[in-house]
């Protein structure tokens, strides 16, 4: 595998500002501000490129806000490809204060039209030398969205179809419920998403037993469930079940740590690392991300 392509259906024009405090009901003037384009697939592409795996971020965006996102992405070290949409891209505001918790305000989601989605899925198709990752939410999900992924990424259009290259899934809600049955190289989700998909009492069996029940309904090769600073749980058809504990850190911002985990996992697997080794490195770097502000901006050797 020589490159990675990510697909983001719900991009974010992200404005970040630092304030002395965030008392409600007052007008505050920022001491510093910045702009970046966010979204899970964008974050994964950024981190993969830092790790030496050439990456292209395919994303859906429309309107003037989409133009801001495109301009920012053109200045990044990874490549990007915009699939135009009729609706303006969503915007969000990140508020930081000294010693306080980071707060994010997100704009309304923009439903993705099925024809636009199909075009984006085609642009992000996995190939012989290309891994693909479908990342984040896709508002307005329908059976047409499911069919596009199944037919284009998994050629036979059935759960037994085999993608042309490694294919990773990190989504939630209805897209996760409908896509998880397909033969992904790995499905990576957090514990909350897993429990919503499972739809059962979390106390009903060990984590291994619960994962095996979900895996029995899916053709995915590997399931990975993260849980913040708690152990990550992994079930693989080749390497069985195991857990790994993340490093202890002083939490600064968890934003994007799951994306750093996925990018590192993909990059390590592309180098031939075992799943266990890849997960260990992914945990090390995702913890480092959570111990620093920003996304994928921490020192790699730290």
More confident residue, 236 or 102: 236
pLDDT of residue 158: 54
**Confidence at 118, pLDDT banded by 50, 70, 90:** very high
CATH topology (fold) of 3-9+39-89+111-290:
3.40.1190
Whole-angstrom Cα distance, residue 205 to residue 137? 29
- Minimal CA–CA distance to 258: which of 102, 39, 96? 39
What stretches of 97-211 adopt beta strand conformation (E)? 103-106, 130-135, 167-170, 186-190
pLDDT at 160: 60
Q: Is 218 left (phi over 0), alpha (psi -120 to 50) or beta?
A: beta
Per-residue pLDDT, 28: 92
Give the residue-averaged pLDDT of 22-32: 91
pLDDT in tens, 86-116: 989 999 998 989 877 778 899 999 999 999 9
Residue 100's pLDDT is 78
| 33 pLDDT more than 80 | yes
Query: Tens of pLDDT along 35-69?
Result: 999 999 999 999 999 999 999 999 999 999 999 99
Across 109-123, 226-240, 285-299, least confident range: 285-299
Chain position carrying tokens 């901006």: 297
Higher pLDDT among residues 214 and 204, named by residue: 214
pLDDT tens readout for residues 136-184: 999 999 999 999 999 999 987 555 677 889 999 999 999 999 999 999 9
Strands (E), the chain: 3-8, 12-18, 32-38, 55-61, 79-84, 90-96, 103-106, 130-135, 167-170, 186-190, 222-227, 230-236, 240-244
For the chain, the distance separating the N- and C-terminal CA atoms, rounded to the nearest angstrom, is 27
Q: Helices 114-123 & 143-153, crossing angle to 10 degrees? A: 20
How large is the angle between the packed helices 257-270 and 40-50, nearest 10 degrees? 50
At residue 208, the pLDDT reads: 94
Rounded Cα distance between 301 and 284, Å, is: 10
CB 178 within 8 A of CB 197: no
**pLDDT score, position 1:** 61
pLDDT at 139: 95
Q: Is the pTM of this model over 0.85?
A: yes
Between residues 128 and 119, the one the model is more confident about: 119
What one-character DSSP code corresponds to residue 127? B
- 302/290 Cα distance (integer angstroms): 12
What's the DSSP call for residue 165? S
Answer positive or negative: Cα dihedral of 153, 173, 168, 258.
positive
Across residues 227-250, what is the average pLDDT?
Answer: 92
């Amino acid at each position: 595998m020589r490159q990675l392509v990510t697909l983001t259906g719900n991009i974010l024009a992200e404005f970040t500002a630092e304030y002395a405090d965030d008392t409600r009901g007052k007008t505050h003037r920022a001491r510093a501000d910045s702009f970046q384009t966010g979204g899970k697939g964008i974050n994964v592409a950024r981190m993969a490129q830092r790790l030496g795996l050439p990456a292209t971020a395919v994303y859906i965006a429309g309107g003037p806000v989409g133009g801001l996102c495109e301009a920012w992405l053109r200045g990044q070290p990874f490549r990007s490809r915009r699939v135009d949409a009729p609706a303006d891209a969503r915007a969000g505001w990140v508020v930081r204060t000294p010693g306080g918790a980071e707060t994010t305000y997100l704009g309304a989601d923009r439903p993705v039209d099925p024809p636009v989605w199909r075009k984006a899925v085609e642009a992000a198709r996995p190939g012989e030398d290309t891994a693909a990752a479908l990342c984040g939410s896709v508002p307005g999900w329908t059976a047409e969205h499911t069919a596009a992924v199944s037919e284009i990424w998994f050629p036979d259009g059935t759960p037994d179809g085999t993608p042309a290259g490694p294919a990773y899934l990190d989504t939630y809600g209805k897209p996760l419920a409908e896509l998880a049955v397909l033969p992904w190289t790995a499905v990576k989700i957090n514990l909350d998403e897993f429990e919503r998909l499972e739809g059962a009492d979390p106390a009903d069996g060990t984590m291994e037993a619960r994962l095996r029940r979900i895996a029995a309904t899916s053709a995915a090769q590997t399931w990975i469930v993260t849980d913040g600073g708690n152990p990550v749980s992994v079930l693989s058809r080749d390497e069985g079940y195991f857990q790994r504990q993340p490093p202890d850190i002083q939490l600064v911002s968890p934003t994007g740590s799951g994306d750093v985990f996925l990018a590192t996992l993909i990059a390590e697997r592309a180098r031939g690392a075992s799943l266990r080794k890849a997960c260990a490195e992914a945990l090390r770097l995702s913890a480092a991300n959570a111990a620093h502000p920003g996304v994928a901006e921490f020192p790699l050797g730290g």
